[in-house]
Structure 1
Amino acid sequence: MRHFAEYSKLFMEYLQIEKNVSPYTIQFYQKDLEIFFAFLKQELVQDLNDVDSRVVRVFLTNLYDEQLSRRSVSRKISSLRSFYKFMEREGITEGNPFVQLTLPKTNKPVPTFLYKEELEKLFDVSDTTKPLGQRNQALIETLYGTGIRVSECRGLRLGDIDFSIGTMFIRGKGRKERYVPFGRFAEIALETYINEGRAELLDKVNDKTDAVFLNARGKPLTERGISTILNKMVEDAAITVHVHPHKLRHTFATHMLNEGADLRIVQELLGHENLSSTQIYTHVTKDYLRDVYLKSHPRAKD
């Protein structure tokens, strides 16, 4: 019989090669399997086929005893269900003890977003006569104007931007690729920055790069660097709410839906694999829908 570590290695190779799962996600799978295998060793279970409903119940009890959140427990169950599905496919196990297990319901946090008045403060805070101000303006117009992730923004290259048709080529999660349009404000900010500010920043280094967004030393911006820039812009704009790069993505989706965009179009723009990931943004539009109702329905108010 193979050792548990060998099964884990087989599964990780499958996730990486066949499923194109990101290294970050693979780390979670690896950790979940390590916890499960440690539990099996503690319970003196030596074969994957010996895991039945009783063993699974004891495992779940241990997880809840550790006061893990429902979300964490759900992820571990999902990881083990996928693992056993792979083992079954490979003929290593004869069944999947996790297949009938109901995932505990999780409370999805409702994403917060910025109102238009708060956004206007951010758009007006940068000194666009200076290279860093031009970069900051292009950065926020890009994040809000396209809804791309901060990691996708960091990975943006000059050749990915097609000004002739107003689209960007985006390399998303799981190596998924998509084209995202951008509007006139982002176009102006990007052209100004690339032709002026970026060229000046690039003169500070010998090693040239085609990364769009650069730091003050002319090197490609990191995700942490983007967060730091945004925090400084928020501070300068005297905005009291907490703002992070992903909040601009939330804001993009919310404003698109508020203005009547089709949910599946927003899903495509955001690069969501499942529509359920996009549907969470419909919850934050309820206040907007209520306002429209109160203003529009003849018997909504006195």
Structure 2
Amino acid sequence: MTAPEPPSGVLERFAEHLTGELGRSPHTVRGYQADLRSLLQDLDSRGHTLADLDVPLVRAWLSRAREAGASRSTVARRVAAVRALTRYLYREGVLATDPGPRLAAPSQQRALPVVLDEGQAATALEGRAPETPVELRRHAVVELLYATGIRVAELCALDLADLDRSRNTVRVLGKGDKERTVPVGLPALDALDAWTARGRPGLAGPVGRPDSAGALFLGARGGRLGVRQAREDVHAHLRAVSLDSAPHGLRHSAATHLLNGGADLRSVQEFLGHSSPRSTQIYTHVSVDRLRSAYQQAHPRA
């Protein structure tokens, strides 16, 4: 009789399945592996194996994690890891049934996004005039993120050809390869003009790299600007004016200021590239909070 495969070997094959067949990122695979090693240790300490996996065993493991102080997001990630594993084990014949669909993840308490007020946004964008190529890039990055509300990964993927100066728009490829066209304000366009005329040539060098020849934003070595460097650009630009925010904070700010200015929710949904209005509704909470604050300060019978 063939000895059962050790759990470590199963996890190794499962990691290959996640990477090769499902296309999960290395970060996701590492997170799942860490969670599932914890599950295996828990099972082993109680005399169980992977073949014993069922809903009560998993729920007991998750309950102990909550008692030990694990956050809702951590438990939700563990549920996702176990669901992926049990689906794989069922397919491989290790489990007779798949208990994964009966595992419910905890509901997430979505925090309200941190946004700059309009005065802070003006401070961030109207500071000292940029001079060096890196300063010109940082200024253009911050202007474009705030003007369009695009994600930082979407910004890094932009090409020069995506910018349409005749219509003052930019073509954005969002999540799920969904394309949308977003309007761009004149201050952001001016910052992009300064970057492309005086900043980009200095980083591209005399020839430039063929893999990034059409990229709108370039990094220090002439390649396409990476997400990590774009985030650092935002932090560095805002630190210079004593503000602290992140690229996603500029996206939140753009959405909130649009709603505060009278834009309807459907338009903001399209502006942000949200597939569902539920993702956009969180910004109405921000606007309502500000309305409540103004009401309490101004209404005589608040």
Distance 2:14 2:63 in 1: 25
Whole-Å separation in 1 of the counterparts to 2:18 and 2:268: 28
Q: 2:44 aligns with which of 41, 44, 60?
A: 41
TM-score (norm 2): 0.78
Any gaps of 5 or more consecutive residues in structure 2? none
Structure-2 change in CA distance of 1:206 and 1:157 (3 Å): closer
User: For the structure 1 residues 216 and 260, does the alpha-carbon distance in structure 2 shift closer, same or farther, using more than 3 Å as the test?
Assistant: same
Secondary structure of 1:237's counterpart equals coil
2:241 counterpart residue number: 237
Query: Considering only aligned residues, what root-mean-square deviation do their CA atoms show, in Å?
Result: 3.5
Aligned to 1:198: 200
SS at match of 1:71: helix
Question: Are the equivalent residues in 1 in contact too, given 2:55–2:102 (CA < 8 A)?
Answer: no
C-alpha contact (below 8 Å) 1:230/1:244 kept by paired residues: yes
Q: Residue type matched to 1:189 in 2?
A: A
**Partner residue in 2 for 1:93:** 95
Query: What is the alpha-carbon distance in structure 1 between the residues aligned to residue 24 and residue 172 of structure 2?
Result: 17
Q: Is the 8 A contact 1:169 1:179 kept in 2?
A: yes
Paired residues of 2:40 and 2:49 also in contact (CA < 8 A): no
Amino acid at match of 1:183: V
Cα drift, residue 251 of structure 1: 0.8
Partners of 2:262 and 2:88 in 1: CA distance:
42
Paired residue for 2:289? Answer: 287
Aligned to 2:35: 32
Is the partner of 2:180 in helix, strand or coil? strand
- What residue in structure 2 maps to residue 181 of structure 1? 182
Shift of 1:72: 0.7
Mean Cα deviation higher: 260-269 or 75-84: 260-269
Q: What aligned pairs does 1:213-292 form with structure 2 within 5 A after superposition? A: 213-215=217-219, 218-239=222-243, 242-290=244-292
Indicate conservation of the 8 Å contact 1:125/1:233, yes or no. no
Contact persistence 2:136–2:199 (CA under 8 A): yes
Q: Which amino acid aligns with 1:27?
A: R
For 2:266 and 2:291, locate their aligned partners in 1 and report how far apart those are by CA, in whole Å: 19
2:98 and 2:285 map into 1 onto residues whose CA distance is: 35
Q: Which runs of 5+ in 1 are unaligned?
A: none
Conserved? CA contact 1:205–1:218, under 8 Å: no
How many pairs does the alignment contain?
Answer: 296
Code of the residue aligned with 1:270 in structure 2: it is L
**Maintained 8 Å contact 1:112/1:284:** no
Q: Secondary structure in 2 aligned to 1:214?
A: coil
Q: How far apart, in 2, do the equivalents of 1:155 and 1:101 lie?
A: 37
Identity of aligned residues (%): 33
TM-score (norm 1): 0.78
What's the CA shift for 1:67? Answer: 2.1
Cα distance in 2 for residues equivalent to 1:131 and 1:300: 53
